Amino acid sequence: MTARRAGRQLHGGKVTYAVLILFTAGSLFPLLWTAVAASRNNTRLAQTPPPFWFGGNLLKNLGTAWTDANMGTALLNTTVVATTVAAGTVVFSTVAGFAFAKLRFRAKRLLLLLVIGTMMVPPQLGVVPLFMTIAELEWTDHLQAVILPTLVSAFGVFFMRQYLLRALPTELIEAARTDGANSWRVVWHVVFPAARPAMAVLGLLTFVQAWNDFFWPIIALTQNGSPTVQVALTGLGRGFIPDQSVIMAGALLGTLPLLIAFVLFGKQIVGGIMQGAVKG
């Protein structure tokens, strides 16, 4: 077994490791340096050479960023938005993906093509009417303004369809139907359990995306209303002399939750992106 696998796949040599380590360092360095800069003060950042190791101001800067940019509220808002969007996307994508993978209905192929086609349309292009709509509804500065437009995703539908095609045996659905279950029961008792791994991955991916969303929130929400972290961050640099170390502390606060998620679920997130990509 090992021999066969070793034969199938070449081991990486020293150069491979060297290059990979170099790129890994490049990937991680800006994040690490965010923390370094956040632990210094503005005066130190305005000197050469730049600091390469942590200073003692981290807590103080975090505190300032916390109060100046209202980070507590912002983090809470972002959590609400990202959680709702992730949950909605997962549920809607799973039921739609199930229908496309396993059910028969008219115009299925056409509708599926339509779903895939919508992936090509960047939501940004409809931003003017979307803004007019939420202004009309007086939703500006309310979180539903950023939640509702992103509650479904074509990628999610496609992703769940691909997963359920393989992971959900049709016999299982038929067996449930023979037992007298209607479609809704089939979804609840058969589809959801079978789809759980993919749902978790899609949820993570959507959460990351919703957390980092920038363009629409900055139009729909203001710093004085109920900003998300990303919107709040843009307000940090607005002073006469922007305090870079405080800005970095804010950036750190906004990134930290996702970094923790990456440490905990990195493998699943990686797997999800690779899974979603194959059929691209």
Partner 1 sequence: MAGRTPRPASSAAAPAPDPAANGSPGRTGAASGLGRTGGTDSLAADRARARRSRRYRRDLRWSPYAFIAPFFLFFAAFGLFPLLYTGWAALHRVELTAPTDMEWAGLRNFTRLLGDDFFWNALGNTFVIGVISTVPQLLMALGMAHLLNYRLRGSTFFRVALLTPYATSVAAATLVFVLIFGRDYGLVNWLLSTIGVDGVDWENGSWSAKLAVSTIVIWRWTGYNALIYLAAMQAIPHDLYESAALDGASRWQQFRYVTVPSLRPTILFTCVVSTIGAMQLFGEPLLFSGSAGATGGADHQYQTLGLYLYEQGWVNLHLGRASAIAWTMFLILLVVAAVNALIARRLRRGD
d(CA 80, CA 70): 16
Q: How far is the CB of 23 from partner 1 (least distance, A)?
A: 6
Q: How far is the CB of 3 from partner 1 (least distance, A)?
A: 13
Q: How far is the CB of 248 from partner 1 (least distance, A)?
A: 7
d(CA 173, CA 99): 12
Nearest CB to partner 1, comparing residues 2 and 56: 2
Nearest CB to partner 1, comparing residues 31 and 200: 31
Q: How far is the CB of 174 from partner 1 (least distance, A)?
A: 12
Q: How far is the CB of 56 from partner 1 (least distance, A)?
A: 19
250: tokens are 């804010």
- Given a contact cutoff of 8 angstroms between Cβ atoms, the answer to whether 253 and 247 are in contact is no
Q: Is residue 173 helix, strand or coil?
A: helix
- Given a contact cutoff of 8 angstroms between Cβ atoms, the answer to whether 57 and 245 are in contact is yes
Q: How far is the CB of 267 from partner 1 (least distance, A)?
A: 6
Nearest CB to partner 1, comparing residues 167 and 258: 258
Residue 76: CB atoms within 10 A of its CB come to 14
d(CA 277, CA 199): 16
Q: How far is the CB of 66 from partner 1 (least distance, A)?
A: 15
Label residues 86-118 b or e (16+ Cβ within 10 Å = b).
bebbbbbbbbbbbbbbbeeeeeeeeebeebeee
d(CA 76, CA 276): 29
CA angle 45, 46, 50 (to 5 degrees): 55
213: tokens are 């969303």
Nearest CB to partner 1, comparing residues 51 and 63: 51
CA angle 138, 140, 146 (to 5 degrees): 120
Q: How far is the CB of 178 from partner 1 (least distance, A)?
A: 6
Nearest CB to partner 1, comparing residues 169 and 252: 252
DSSP assignment of 218-250, as one string?
Answer: HHH--SSSS--HHHHHHHHTTSSS--HHHHHHH
